[in-house]
Amino acid sequence: MNLLDAVNSDDFECVKSVLYGDTCFSQEELSKALTQSVGCQDLRIVSLLIQRGADINLVLEDVTPPLLTAVIYDRPDVIALLIENGAEINLQDSVGNTALQLALEDEILEAEETSDIPKVNLSRLLIESGADPTIVDGTGNTAIDDARKAGYKEAVELLLDSLTDQENTQR
């Protein structure tokens, strides 16, 4: 069984067996497996891949980085684990998206689908972990721009407050 198949099985012992087998894995293979593991229910798989040397911050053209994938999967537990293990909170994918921008996009879409007020749960977690709402993506927009364009008042307030908090901390 190859590493990605083992990860997709969501079986910790299977992943462990493959990782500790005779095969040496490239950084790219480990990092792809780490990204894939974000969807696993067993958080130990994510931890094991990190322990075995998967680069949390590797950006590949064809693979979304693990932190951004955790946002897409709405996995605050994985987001916290990745940040604890050195995930760069402001890492951009190959087209310039940040985790914060993806979180806002998902929160806005969810609110539109449910005709509800957008929740800022993931955005708040990322901001509290140091996400910068002023980073410009590949289309020339920031998270603040995206929130304003969507009329997402709660997010705009959260993002602007975070800038004020950062300024006060630097004084």
Query: What pTM did the predictor assign?
Result: 0.89
Could you tell me which of 166, 170, 110, 168 has the C-alpha nearest to residue 135? 166
Segment (H or E) for 70: helix 66-72
Residue 87, CB half-sphere, CA atoms under 13 Å: how many? 33
With cut-offs at 50, 70 and 90, classify the pLDDT of residue 167.
low
Find where tokens 């079986």 sit.
Answer: 11
With cut-offs at 50, 70 and 90, classify the pLDDT of residue 129.
very high
Instruction: Quote helix, strand, coil % in the chain, to nearest 5.
Output: 60, 0, 40
The domains found in the chain, sorted by start residue, are 1-88 (1.25.40.20), 89-171 (1.25.40.20)
Greatest C-alpha distance within the chain? 55
The beta strands (E) that lie in the chain are given as none
pLDDT digits (tens, 9 = 90+) for 131-166: 999 999 999 999 999 999 988 888 899 999 998 866
d(CA 91, CA 44): 23
Question: What is the SS3 assignment for 133?
Answer: coil
DSSP conformational letter for 116: S
**What pairs with residue 60 in β-bridges?**
63
